[in-house]
Structure 1
Amino acid sequence: MIRRKLMMVERIMYVDHDTPINLVFTAKIKGEIPEENVKAALKKIQQKHPLLRTGIDRQSEKYPFFTEEKEIESIPLRIVERKTDHDWLQESEKEWFRLFKDEKKPLAQLVWIKGTNVSELLWVMPHCICDGTSAVALMRELLGLLDNPSFEMNPYPIFSSVDDFLPLDFNLKREKRKARLYLLMARFFFMMQRKSKKKNIGDNYLIHWREDSSITNRITEKCKAEGISVHALLCAAYMQAFKEIQGKQAKGKVISPVDVRHFIPEIKKDHLFAFAPTVELPLKKGNQSVMDNAREIKKELLQKIEKIEARKLLWMGEQMHPLVDRMITMLKSSTGGHDITLSNMGRIDIPNDYKHFTLETIISPTVAFPWLNSNTLVTTTYNQQMDFTFMSNEHFLPKEEALKIKNKATELMTSFV
């Protein structure tokens, strides 16, 4: 019987009973698929992933728990008639605000935008149960089962607490002393913060675009030739774009999530997991070129990743539960010290050709954060095409200004190719 307290990071993404933070991940396919195959696939996926058989108990104890529901319903399937190529965008924006309140219903939904020989499939999940890698795994499993309904998948056990991930040499006594000190310092920090009346009161929006295979390949080859990563170039280009468009208001920093599976291999790529350590990357002062900045960013990123102790971070986070509500309040009212959160998921490992249909394209995940600074850029590469989703809210970053930043960053990235 599953009963596990939400980790600190899961609680932040959960926020509360009435505030949705949903991740929506979309795939476009060509071909016909029977409805019974979709429902059968969802059933098998639910049997594999423990969190898809749980609800969130918010009342029994002080903090919320994932609790297995013996008579939980199947993953809901919502079918929508496909009318235009942009229906996925409208449906995504609807699903951003879905509340997964019913404890008898799973923490996921599939939306099928069904057309003649073409469809979009949208996975919708609370961000507190999954990251981008989790979403890719679910899409890969769904498409595989739609093509081969007889394929069997093995369930995996859910971890009972973050203690399951602690290294053998973990010094509990020493780390507890550190935790008490950090908690005291954090309490003092929040006590000194002025209460802000600022909040996200604007409409959330999404800007989506894609670079064709020619541009994508030229960017990739140029990065290889220059000894930098595409991620470093993205960071440099977007920080420079914010600087040129916003002037002194720009922060000159990005936050980059890192897949926790790099550090904790027990968490497999096909396991649902929500925690991603983050790295803050600054833009160097001066008039360096975008390529020079990208080189510095790559170097700093590698250095900071090397220092990440993800197992200890998870454990330390669990000692900070008393401060989660204050953290959420600050996220909702603080402009933060960064321009944007930039998640580059890289090449998406999902087959293209199936027996009964073709996966035409993948659309990068989208999410509408309730934070004041909700600036988020997600990039993926599929079929040699880079795909981008840029999300924010009109109150904090007007869409017109976001488009200028996006255009400037694209210009900076493509000017040398």
Structure 2
Amino acid sequence: MRQLMMVERIMYVDAKTPLNCVFTAKINGEISEENFRVALDKIQKKHPLLRSKIDKSKKYPVFVEEKEIAAIPLRIFERKTNEDWLSESEKEWYRIFEEAKKPLAQLVWVKGQHISEILLVMPHCICDGTSLVTLMREILAVLDDPYVELGSYQTFNSVNDFLLADFNLKKKKRKARFYLMMAKLFFLTQRKSKKRNLGKNYVIHWKLNSETSKKITEKCKANRISVHALLCSVFMNSFQEIKGKQAKRKVISPVDVRHFVPEIQQDHLFAFAPTVELSLQKGNQDILENSKYIKKDLLQKIENMEARELLWMGEQMHPIVERMISMLKSSNGGHDITLSNMGKINIPNDHKNFKVESIISPTVAFPWLNSNTLVTTTFNQEMDFTFMSNEDFLSKEDSVKIKNKAMDLLIS
């Protein structure tokens, strides 16, 4: 048993609000239902969070490992079109994982004669992007060979497990009390807004072929910029072009916490991803110059990031989590979009019994007012994008315009 971390509580939202990630792999070949059951059983035995439920009877919610947890459900849907995965993903956004003895995960098999899509569905409060990739890689490995062993690991008990010996608890507690007091004062001065995300959530999905994707990486190498910095630059510019004065010229980018806390291993489920805010240079509209500026700014912010302290400090903020959630649901935010570049996906293309044709970037329907989110992945030398928002905050028509403008800038 352990209490949900602050960020897990934010992503949990509450018992009635779904906030799920859906990660999709498209495969070519034959798979047996029996092997699916074996794969789901093995990942559940490996990962403690897949044997856990959320107990809401305490002051703050806690994860409790269930001794008699049910198997991870497999839902099979007959594949009729190439877009079935999309409509099934949208259904799964709204699944509530609250049934007694049922795990915090679901698998959907969009089953075709030769082509199938596998949709992994999990509440965001137990996973980040790396977790989704790990689970999909493990599922595919066991689907191909049911005798593959995945091992197991012990989960942490609290964020105190990640603190180093030189962590000055007395000094940090004073700092935390000050931050908590300032946060409470901030919320006291804020008028409660009745604005909410009531529009229809949507996703726009597209893929760049390997030739175009290669040109982008070569362009980045030639100009000594990162793909991530270029993506940030082109999307901020595109928001400014389409939204004019409403554009914020800022993005939020999550960073994999495992870079800073190696005890959280690559194949462990974990939900906390520290974020950095990145912006365009004042008075500069040049895409490449802004990319250089963003790359330098990002590297500096990552270098200065104290991820262990952030984890610990978050735990001191539990008294104001509900106010944070309320603000996310009603605030326009100070950024244009949350941009998550997951990079090259570490999943093999070829297996003995099937081929992974493509990976579709994760989709999610945030309940926040500003739910603008872009996720990008690269698999088989092809860049893939999912762009999500809701009609009340950003119309789908404007999203398409922003996407088209960004791709023009990216490829030019």
Q: Structure 2-normalised TM-score?
A: 0.99
Alignment-derived partner of residue 22 in structure 1: 20
Give the AA of the match of 1:182: Y
- Specify the SS of the correspondent of 1:346: strand
CA distance in structure 2 between the aligned counterparts of 1:373 and 1:287, rounded to whole angstroms? 26
Alignment-derived partner of residue 82 in structure 1: 79
- Percent identity, aligned pairs only, is 70
Superposed counterparts of 1:124-139, under 5 Å: 124-139=121-136
Is 1:341 the counterpart of 2:338? The answer is: yes
Alignment-derived partner of residue 295 in structure 1: 292
- Specify the SS of the correspondent of 1:338: coil
CA distance in structure 2 between the aligned counterparts of 1:252 and 1:372, rounded to whole angstroms? 18
Structure 1 counterpart of 2:408, from 408, 411, 416 = 411
Query: Per-residue deviation at 1:102?
Result: 1.3
Q: Which digits, 9 at most, give the CA deviation of each residue in 1:169-196, with x for residues without a partner?
A: 0011111111100000000011111111
Query: Per-residue deviation at 1:98?
Result: 0.1
Superposed counterparts of 1:34-73, under 5 Å: 34-59=32-57, 61-73=58-70
User: Does the 8 Å CA contact 1:147/1:355 hold for their aligned counterparts?
Assistant: yes
Structure 2 counterpart of 1:94, from 85, 91, 95 = 91
Q: Which digits, 9 at most, give the CA deviation of each residue in 1:346-397, with x for residues without a partner?
A: 0001000010000000000000000000000000000000000000000000
Is 1:236 the counterpart of 2:207? The answer is: no
CA distance in structure 2 between the aligned counterparts of 1:95 and 1:120, rounded to whole angstroms? 14
Q: Which digits, 9 at most, give the CA deviation of each residue in 1:129-150, with x for residues without a partner?
A: 0000000000000000011110
Structure 2 counterpart of 1:223, from 220, 224, 231 = 220
CA distance in structure 1 between the aligned counterparts of 2:98 and 2:338, rounded to whole angstroms? 28
Give the AA of the match of 1:336: G
CA distance in structure 2 between the aligned counterparts of 1:360 and 1:288, rounded to whole angstroms? 38
Query: Per-residue deviation at 1:287?
Result: 3.6
Alignment-derived partner of residue 351 in structure 2: 354
Query: Per-residue deviation at 1:288?
Result: 3.2
Alignment-derived partner of residue 330 in structure 1: 327
- Specify the SS of the correspondent of 1:120: strand
Q: Which segments of 5 or more consecutive residues in structure 1 lack a partner in the other structure?
A: none
Structure 2 counterpart of 1:273, from 252, 255, 270 = 270
- Specify the SS of the correspondent of 1:341: strand
User: Does the 8 Å CA contact 2:237/2:285 hold for their aligned counterparts?
Assistant: no
CA distance in structure 2 between the aligned counterparts of 1:154 and 1:266, rounded to whole angstroms? 17
Distance 1:172 1:287, change over 3 A: closer
User: Does the 8 Å CA contact 2:284/2:290 hold for their aligned counterparts?
Assistant: no
Give the AA of the match of 1:318: E
CA distance in structure 2 between the aligned counterparts of 1:167 and 1:287, rounded to whole angstroms? 42
Give the AA of the match of 1:180: R
- Specify the SS of the correspondent of 1:219: helix
Alignment-derived partner of residue 12 in structure 1: 10
Alignment-derived partner of residue 163 in structure 1: 160
CA distance in structure 2 between the aligned counterparts of 1:158 and 1:309, rounded to whole angstroms? 22
CA distance in structure 1 between the aligned counterparts of 2:84 and 2:165, rounded to whole angstroms? 51
User: Does the 8 Å CA contact 1:364/1:380 hold for their aligned counterparts?
Assistant: yes
Q: Which digits, 9 at most, give the CA deviation of each residue in 1:69-89, with x for residues without a partner?
A: 111000000000000000000
Superposed counterparts of 1:175-254, under 5 Å: 175-254=172-251
CA distance in structure 1 between the aligned counterparts of 2:25 and 2:233, rounded to whole angstroms? 29
Query: Per-residue deviation at 1:257?
Result: 0.2
User: Does the 8 Å CA contact 1:256/1:281 hold for their aligned counterparts?
Assistant: yes
Q: What do you get for the CA RMSD once the two structures are aligned?
A: 0.5
Q: Which digits, 9 at most, give the CA deviation of each residue in 1:185-244, with x for residues without a partner?
A: 000011111111111010000000000001100000110110000000000000000001
User: Does the 8 Å CA contact 1:48/1:155 hold for their aligned counterparts?
Assistant: yes
Query: Per-residue deviation at 1:154?
Result: 1.0
Give the AA of the match of 2:267: D
Give the AA of the match of 1:326: R
Q: Which moved further from structure 2: 6-15 or 99-108?
A: 99-108
Query: Per-residue deviation at 1:285?
Result: 1.7
User: Does the 8 Å CA contact 1:56/1:103 hold for their aligned counterparts?
Assistant: no
Q: Which moved further from structure 2: 43-52 or 278-287?
A: 278-287
Query: Per-residue deviation at 1:103?
Result: 3.2
- Specify the SS of the correspondent of 2:2: strand
Alignment-derived partner of residue 305 in structure 1: 302
Alignment-derived partner of residue 114 in structure 1: 111
Q: Which segments of 5 or more consecutive residues in structure 2 lack a partner in the other structure?
A: none
CA distance in structure 1 between the aligned counterparts of 2:242 and 2:149, rounded to whole angstroms? 52
- Specify the SS of the correspondent of 1:369: coil
Query: Per-residue deviation at 1:168?
Result: 1.2
- Specify the SS of the correspondent of 2:366: coil
- Specify the SS of the correspondent of 1:80: strand
User: Does the 8 Å CA contact 1:69/1:103 hold for their aligned counterparts?
Assistant: no
Task: Provide the aligned length of Structure 1 versus Structure 2.
Answer: 412
- Specify the SS of the correspondent of 2:342: strand
Query: Per-residue deviation at 1:245?
Result: 0.5
CA distance in structure 2 between the aligned counterparts of 1:39 and 1:287, rounded to whole angstroms? 55
Structure 2 counterpart of 1:365, from 353, 362, 365 = 362
Give the AA of the match of 2:332: T
CA distance in structure 2 between the aligned counterparts of 1:211 and 1:152, rounded to whole angstroms? 35
CA distance in structure 1 between the aligned counterparts of 2:124 and 2:300, rounded to whole angstroms? 28
Structure 1 counterpart of 2:252, from 251, 255, 278 = 255
Give the AA of the match of 1:116: Q
- Specify the SS of the correspondent of 1:272: coil
